[in-house]
Amino acid sequence: MSNEKIYTIRITEAMNQKCGCPLCTVEDKLEADELERILGAAMMEPDVRVKTNEQGFCEKHLDRLLGMSNKLSYALMLQTHLAEFTKKLYRDSIPLLKNTPDPKKQLAVLEKKRKSCYVCARKREFMSATYSAFAYMYRTDAEFDGRMREQPYFCLRHMHCLLEAAGRELSKEAYRGFCRTLNDINGAYSQELLGDLDWFCKKFDYRYKDEDWKNSKDSVERAVKFLK
Ligand SMILES: [Zn+2]
Ligand SMILES: [Zn+2]
Q: What is the pLDDT of residues 157-172, one digit of tens each?
A: 999 999 999 999 999 9
Residue 173: what pLDDT?
A: 97
Characterise 91 by phi-psi region: left (phi > 0), alpha (psi -120 to 50), beta (else). Answer: left
Residues above pLDDT 70, as percent of the chain? 96
Check whether 92 has a pLDDT greater than 70.
no
3-state secondary structure of 105: helix
Cα 165 to ligand 1 centre (Å): 15
Cα 69 to ligand 1 centre (Å): 28
Q: Please state, in angstroms and as integers, the Cα–Cα distance from residue 81 to each residue in 39, 190, 198, following that order.
A: 14, 44, 50
Mean pLDDT, residues 196-207 taken together: 94
Cα 70 to ligand 2 centre (Å): 18
Cα 21 to ligand 2 centre (Å): 21
Check whether 35 has a pLDDT greater than 70.
yes
Ligand nearest to the CA of 153: 1
In this structure, the dihedral spanned by the alpha carbons of residues 159, 130, 8 and 227, taken in order and rounded to 10 degrees, is: -30
Cα 94 to ligand 2 centre (Å): 29
Ligand nearest to the CA of 21: 1
Measured between alpha carbons, how far is 212 from 83 in angstroms, rounded to an integer?
A: 60
Cα 11 to ligand 2 centre (Å): 22
Ligand nearest to the CA of 20: 1
Cα 92 to ligand 2 centre (Å): 29
Ligand nearest to the CA of 160: 1
Cα 15 to ligand 2 centre (Å): 25
Measured between alpha carbons, how far is 197 from 201 in angstroms, rounded to an integer?
A: 6
pLDDT band at 91 (very low <50, low <70, confident <90, very high): confident
Cα 111 to ligand 2 centre (Å): 15
pTM of the model: 0.88
Mean pLDDT, residues 45-59 taken together: 94
Residue 101: what pLDDT?
A: 81
pLDDT band at 191 (very low <50, low <70, confident <90, very high): very high
Cα 123 to ligand 2 centre (Å): 8
